[in-house]
Structure 1
Amino acid sequence: MAEQQPLFDAAKYKNTQREQWNKDGSAWRRWTPTLELWYGDVTRQMLAAAHVQSGQRILDVAAGAGEPSVSAAERVGPSGYVLATDISEGIVELARQVACERGLHQIETRAMDGEKLDLPDASFDAVLCRFGLMYMPHPVNALSEWRRALKPGGWAAVAVFSMPERNGWGALPASIIRQRAQLPPPVPGQPGPFSLGGVGVLEELFRQAGFANPQVRTVQVPHRAASAADYVRVAREAFGGFNAMMANLSLEERESVWNEVENSMHRFESSTGFEVPGECHVASAAK
């Protein structure tokens, strides 16, 4: 008899995600200027794909430490409204602080599960989710909830990373960490950074959630830094998932792993600096 694969525990996974971002959210905020150099174009393309305009009501799911909420708030202006939500109470508080520092009083923040919105029907002109949907155990449920919250004619726009072979910034460190930490392969249904990057995956999810004619475009997101060492410094602080994969290793073993990661990333250095490939998909559809 074949050995039965373990089932994916969605509730446990969500609790782990909440705890991870409560812990690592401050690092994500600290590195925001660098992260926006990498992902700012993705945000702009999402806002355009969702037809975000002055005076609108925008919902940002998995908003993290404040993007794309801040960019959306600047576009809708003082007469508009942006609700920034995230499963992590700690990182939502950071987003609130960012909004206050920017004087963006049209931003409200609330801790909320993106798969189960505590929001009325037909209450938003657009829903945004940058690099969050791929971490949700039930993406069709999430998209269905977002569609419910949209006004008729409103748009949803999401960004996810594409395939691992096109995202060396994450796939290479993850491969090394998985091997060194002796982690088993992901179980069926397990979310992750590249779980929705396959051809046609996003289109099918949108259709299953009730959206018609989803549009998907590919965006290059090269991760640039002065050196491999500088890149690894960002990765080990801001990308909490890497550290979570090493939770059972000693401090000495973790340092050894990070040294191996840095050595592996030297291949992306040149006379002009460091650049490792990255690619994502921006998908959008109207209700």
Structure 2
Amino acid sequence: MELEIEQIRNQQKETWNRFSPGWKKWDELTMDFLKPMGDEIIRLLNLKNDALVLDVAAGTGEPGLTIASHLNGGKVIATDLAEGMLEIAQENAKKRGVKNFETIVCDVSELPFADNTFDAISCRFGFMFFPDMLLAIKEMTRVLKPGGKIATAVWNIPEKNFWITATMETISKNIEIPPPPPGAPGMFRCSKSGFMSDLFSQAGLKNIKENEVAGKLNCKTTDVYWSLMNDVAAPVVAALSKADNVMRQKIKEEVYSLVNQKYPDNNVIIDSSALIIYGEK
């Protein structure tokens, strides 16, 4: 089991480092897309000015950078497995003049912090990639102060997330993709209502709440949508790498047709849905 977890962890690290240039390229569009989920996390955490906050699976820096910019006397420590993503986060902090923001490359299941260190923890779209989600939430709970708060975002069901299913389902129709092993990291691994709340409960958290937040992926054109998926969506790139040029072109044309059918005015603003889960230690 340990070996399996280690393999998944190494694979995740390699994948996110490889995709960090794509995330940097599309940072403005993706951060606008994910902002409503970050805003809801911030609202639920309801932080005091001097709070010490941990942002897990921080990627290119959000919502940690926004949290840090709201604090007066407090600080955010952002962690991620991929140093390539955190380098972008540091660049973003510098650009925005956010000084109370620090990054540490580490694994969520082995956080390098003492028990009861943080006032709050945010984690936006990290859980579905953690090899052992229960271990992750227990480790987060360990470093949270008594009375501390945690809030996380995970994707809702596929039916409410056309922004990714438009491409992935088209690929699946054309290429045989072996299903991932049960419990393997994946976009919709945490999408079942109550799943994350149950994990929070198992970790000993209380006052648990779960609610839905909508977002909009504002691509404007189908070309932008297709380019974005090919630059930042690891499952898309992995699946398309198995196709020859003719098949790739066929998939591209079918995706364009599907998206253009839904947005005939070529104003591609795609709805999304996430679940935000909150708990207290």
TM-score, normalisation: structure 2: 0.93
1:279 pairs with one of 273, 276, 280: 273
Q: Distance in 1 between matches of 2:276 and 2:194?
A: 12
Equivalent residue, structure 2, for 1:51: 46
Shift of 1:85: 0.7
Equivalent residue, structure 1, for 2:200: 206
Whether 2:220 is the aligned partner of 1:226: answer yes
2:105 pairs with one of 105, 111, 130: 111
Q: Distance in 2 between matches of 1:179 and 1:13?
A: 27
2:142 pairs with one of 144, 148, 154: 148
Q: Distance in 2 between matches of 1:106 and 1:143?
A: 25
Shift of 1:186: 2.1
Q: Distance in 1 between matches of 2:101 and 2:160?
A: 34
Shift of 1:23: 1.3
Q: Distance in 2 between matches of 1:220 and 1:260?
A: 26
After superposition, the C-alpha distances for 1:22-49 in whole angstroms (9 at most, x for unaligned) are 1111221221211122211111110111
The one-letter code sitting in structure 2 at the alignment partner of 1:150 is: L
Which deviates further from its counterpart, 231-240 or 109-118? Answer: 231-240
1:32 pairs with one of 27, 30, 33: 27
Whether 2:174 is the aligned partner of 1:191: answer no
After superposition, the C-alpha distances for 1:199-246 in whole angstroms (9 at most, x for unaligned) are 211111110111113101101113222122222222211223311233
The one-letter code sitting in structure 2 at the alignment partner of 1:108 is: E
Question: Does the 8 Å contact 2:221/2:266 carry over to 1?
Answer: no
In the alignment, structure 2 segments of 5+ residues that lack a partner are none
Q: Distance in 1 between matches of 2:247 and 2:71?
A: 48
> SS at 1:222's partner residue?
strand
2:90 pairs with one of 88, 96, 113: 96
Shift of 1:250: 4.1
Within a 5 Å distance, the mapping from 1:47-86 to structure 2 comes to 47-77=42-72, 79-86=73-80
Equivalent residue, structure 1, for 2:170: 176
Change over 3 Å in CA distance of 1:53–1:251 after alignment to 2: farther
**Identity over aligned residues, as a percent?**
29
Shift of 1:257: 2.9
> SS at 2:110's partner residue?
coil
Shift of 1:87: 0.7
The one-letter code sitting in structure 2 at the alignment partner of 1:265 is: V
Equivalent residue, structure 1, for 2:160: 166
Equivalent residue, structure 1, for 2:16: 21
Q: Distance in 2 between matches of 1:112 and 1:252?
A: 41
Question: Does the 8 Å contact 2:222/2:266 carry over to 1?
Answer: no
Q: Distance in 1 between matches of 2:268 and 2:262?
A: 6
In the alignment, structure 1 segments of 5+ residues that lack a partner are 1-7
Change over 3 Å in CA distance of 1:271–1:179 after alignment to 2: closer
Q: Distance in 2 between matches of 1:216 and 1:102?
A: 32
Over the aligned positions, Cα root-mean-square deviation in angstroms equals: 1.8
Count of aligned pairs between the two proteins:
279
Equivalent residue, structure 2, for 1:5: none
The one-letter code sitting in structure 2 at the alignment partner of 1:167 is: N
Shift of 1:50: 1.5
TM-score, normalisation: structure 1: 0.91
2:232 pairs with one of 238, 243, 253: 238
Question: Does the 8 Å contact 2:23/2:231 carry over to 1?
Answer: yes
Question: Does the 8 Å contact 2:260/2:266 carry over to 1?
Answer: no
Q: Distance in 1 between matches of 2:17 and 2:190?
A: 24
Equivalent residue, structure 2, for 1:42: 37
The one-letter code sitting in structure 1 at the alignment partner of 2:188 is: F
